[in-house]
Chain A
Amino acid sequence: MSKSTEQQFKPNLAVDVAGLKLKNPIMPASGTFGYGEEYSPYLDLNQLGAIVTKGMSLNPKAGNNTPRICETVSGMLNAIGLQNVGVDAFIKDKMAFLANYDTPVIVNFFGNTQEEYGEVAARLDDVPGVAALEMNISCPNVKQGGIVFGTEPQAAAEVISLVRKRTSKPLIVKLTPNVTDIQVMARASEEAGADALSLINTLTGMAVDVKTRKPRIANTIGGLSGPAIRPVAVRLVHQVVQAVKLPVIGIGGITSAVDALEFLIVGAKAVQVGTANFVDPTAMATIIADLEKFCIDDGITDINALIGSLEL
């Protein structure tokens, strides 16, 4: 309905998540954007609300056997196994590149033990350029990994309070959808000192090659991501927003501005784009431009007016 003759305004897309000032609510999801550099030929990283890096652990991690990925209906399964260079190499080799941009860097991390979680957080604490930490308590892929922490409110609360003591940065806790009651986990995280919540991580899934009768990924079970999981993710974000006061970052199957808007309307302050980056490396730039267009077309001067505007 917008007419080119009408006076065009520039809507405000900036949002604030736990004190983090973001140019807009769009950022990549951990593990789908490498360390930022991989996508820099395709996308101006300065356009993004934030950059979220691949999950970091104390020591370098080998990851799983191959095949690690397979496509499923409107989605994909992955069991990368959290392969990463380790936190020290990350700080030494990967942060310098990201310092070229004025986009806040959110470092995703995990540990195999409470102590490891604490130690990684501590090592990242005084690194200039790290704007916030995103704590993965939800990865379904690694046997001794996040799964225990992310599915037990007590274990989650313990490790979150431990990390809380070792970092002064804003702490985002990333929740797994593979739980009976997400609201219980959200409240436990809030009480333990999280500054924000992000969700969802991948849903556990499995696919079988009927010719070979083998699982299609070597790890047998993997994490499902992509458009297929979006309705589940929207529902979980909706429930978490009801349960806590913390700002929430919505994740799951976002490929377009309309998808992102679903999450914002149910109450997410920002969103992360994951699998869609593989499909279209410029997806986030398109989403940002289309969000602006949506606001202009609907006469919305500030995107914050849309956040939590769900009509029930």
Chain B
Amino acid sequence: MPDLKTVVLSNQEIAPGYYRMKILAPGYTQLSSPGQFVMLRVQNSLTPLLRRPLGIYRVGFAPADCDTLPPKEFVELIYKVVGSGTEIMRELEVGAPVELLGPLGTGFEFGAAGTEKIMVGGGIGLVPLYMLAQELVKTSAVKLLIGGRTRDDIILASEFERLGVKVEVATEDGSMGTKGLVTKILEQQLDVSKQTEVFACGPMPMLDAVEKICTSREVPLQVSLEALMACGVGACLGCVVKGEGHTSSEPNYLCTCTAGPVFDATNLDWKKTAAIKMAGGGK
């Protein structure tokens, strides 16, 4: 988990408001595992002050500038412009200096080889699922259920399909795929499947619903959470969520940045999801 002073290799809009950024990241192909994240310092100044947590979408090698040089090892991020930090990221040009701390956190467990895997995500929640899919397709049939308000929210579907993942879409306005919430298609899937494991990342209300569906059917579930973070390394205790059995006399706060961002759903306190919701940025 080095702290790299490095540069942007590419930065492009992939859908309205969504961007893809490649950053030179020696060591990342070896170090990263699915579900981990980085803390990105978007520019060398004190505004914005804190680094921004961003999921690792993909790692790999890009061709070198010339034959005599080795290929460039990169980490790829997908981000949505929501505020000052991501606004600055949008403007970064090829070669712009950035500081990259990572890979950080605990990612996904891959589950039993051979059992069907269902991934559920929406918007930026798809980001940590890509590397997971790369791993899961090696041993199992993998489905991805993508949810969004409208068809513009459905990003990255073809990238997952290229990995051999079967993709299904639900939009609330019916402009693409099934009309309704993504949890509707999850329920339909689980009704016909026997042995399934579920992996989810997205807005808290979605995760909440997915948890209820999976728990009632005794389907194993892992979720990737978001939290406001200052340090990303377990030092500030700003990013905690309530773990299973948490009470004020016997606290069980877990750091999203070290124990997570991916948690086995049974390790979290879903009764108090209001508190978990707040950890996700108050939305």
Contacts of B176 in A (CB 8 A): none
- Does A240 sit at the interface, judged by CB under 8 A? no
In the complex, whether A41 has a CB less than 8 A from a CB of chain B is yes
Is the beta-carbon distance between B48 and A71 smaller than 8 angstroms? yes
**CA of A78 to CA of B237 in the docked complex: distance in angstroms?**
10
- B46, A38: Cβ atoms closer than 8 Å: no
User: Smallest distance from the beta carbon of B99 to chain A beta carbons, Å?
Assistant: 7
**Minimal Cβ-Cβ distance residue in B for A37:** B234
A residues 100-133 near B (Cβ < 8 Å) are none
Q: Which chain B positions have C-beta within 8 A of A67?
A: 228, 278-279, 281-282
* Set of chain A residues within 8 Å of B231, measured between Cβ atoms: 32, 38, 277-278, 281
Question: B230 to A278, Cβ gap below 8 A?
Answer: yes
Residue B3 at the A interface, CB < 8 A? Answer: yes
Known interface pairs A31-B237, A80-B236; 18 further A-B residue pairs with C-beta atoms within 8 A, sorted by A's residue number: A38-B231, A38-B233, A39-B233, A39-B235, A42-B101, A60-B251, A62-B248, A63-B237, A66-B239, A76-B49, A78-B230, A83-B251, A214-B282, A227-B46, A277-B235, A278-B51, A278-B230, A279-B50
Q: How many residues of B contact A (CB 8 A)?
A: 34
B241 contacts the other chain (CB 8 A): yes
Interface residues as binary, B209-221 with A (CB distance below 8 Å gives 1, 0 otherwise): 0000000000000
A218/B50 contact (C-beta < 8 A), A31-B236, A282-B3 known:
no
B253 within 8 A of A: yes
In the complex, A255 has a CB within 8 A of chain B: yes
> Does any Cβ of B come within 8 Å of A70's Cβ?
yes
* CB proximity of A35 to chain B, nearest CB, Å: 8
Which residues of the other chain, B, contact A32 by a CB distance below 8 angstroms?
231, 235-236
In the bound complex, how far is the Cα of B46 from the Cα of A214, in angstroms?
26
Residue in A68, A71, A226, A279 whose beta carbon sits within 8 Å of that of B240 in the complex: A68
Q: Tell me whether B236 and A69 are in contact (CB under 8 A).
A: yes
Q: Determine the chain A residues whose CB is within 8 A of the CB of B29 once the complex forms.
A: none
Taking CB atoms, residues of chain B closer than 8 Å to A216 are: 282
> What are 5 residue pairs bridging A and B, where the CB atoms are less than 8 Å apart in the complex?
A38-B234, A67-B279, A67-B282, A69-B228, A74-B47
Asked if B88 is at the interface of the complex by the 8 Å CB criterion, the answer is no
B111 at the interface (CB under 8 A from A): no
Q: Given the complex, which residues of A lie within 8 Å of B235, measured CB to CB?
A: 32-34, 38-39, 277-278
**Residue numbers in B under 8 Å from A11 (CB-CB):** none
A73 at interface, CB cutoff 8 A = yes
Asked if B1 is an interface residue, CB under 8 A from chain A, the answer is yes
Count, chain A residues at interface, CB 8 A: 42
Cα distance, A68 to B228, chains bound together (Å): 8
Interface string of A184-206 (1 = CB under 8 A from B): 00000000000000000000000
Known: A66-B278, A67-B278, A212-B282. A226 touches B49 (CB 8 A): yes
In whole Å, how far is A109's beta carbon from the nearest beta carbon of chain B? 16
Main secondary structure of the interface of B (DSSP, over half): loop
Contacts of B3 in A (CB 8 A): 42, 280-282
Asked if B41 CB lies within 8 Å of chain A CBs, one says: yes
Q: Give A178 to B99 CA distance when docked, in angstroms.
A: 35
Interface residues of B (CB under 8 A from A): 1, 3, 41, 46-51, 99, 101, 227-241, 248, 251, 253, 275, 278-279, 281-282
Q: Identify B236's interface contact among A62, A278, A282, CB under 8 A.
A: A278
Interface residues of A (CB under 8 A from B): 31-34, 38-39, 41-42, 54, 60-63, 65-71, 73-76, 78, 80, 83, 209, 212, 214, 216, 218, 226-227, 255, 275, 277-282
Determine how close the nearest CB of chain B comes to the CB of A251; give it in whole angstroms.
16
Knowing A69-B230, A76-B230, A83-B251 are in contact, say whether A278-B237 is a contact too (CB < 8 A).
Answer: no
Could you tell me the distance in whole angstroms from the C-beta of B32 to the nearest C-beta in chain A?
15
Query: Looking across the interface, which residue of chain B has its beta carbon closest to that of A60?
Result: B251
CB within 8 A of B275: which of A54, A61, A65? A65
CB closest residue in chain B, given A65: B275
CB-CB nearest in chain B for A70: B228
Q: How many angstroms from the CA of A172 to the CA of B174 in the assembled complex?
A: 64
Give the distance in Å from the alpha carbon of A212 to the alpha carbon of B283 in the complex.
Answer: 9
Q: 9 nearest interchain CB pairs?
A: A62-B251, A34-B235, A69-B238, A38-B235, A66-B279, A278-B231, A278-B230, A38-B234, A66-B278
Please, how many angstroms separate the alpha-carbon atoms of A83 and B239 in the complex? 12
> A255 — which chain B residues lie within 8 A by C-beta?
46
Docked Cα-Cα span, A73 to B48, in Å, equals: 8
Chain B residue contacts of A281, Cβ below 8 A: 3, 101, 231, 233
Question: A62–B50 contact, CB under 8 A?
Answer: no
Chain B residue contacts of A282, Cβ below 8 A: 3
A227, B49: Cβ atoms closer than 8 Å = yes
CB contact under 8 A between A66 and B236, given known A71-B50, A212-B282: no
Contacts of B236 in A (CB 8 A): 31-32, 34, 69, 78, 80, 278
Chain A residues with CB under 8 A of B234: 34, 38
Contacts of A33 in B (CB 8 A): 235
Across-interface contacts of B238 in A (CB, < 8 A): 68-69, 78, 80
Complex Cα distance, B236 from A61, in Å, reads: 15
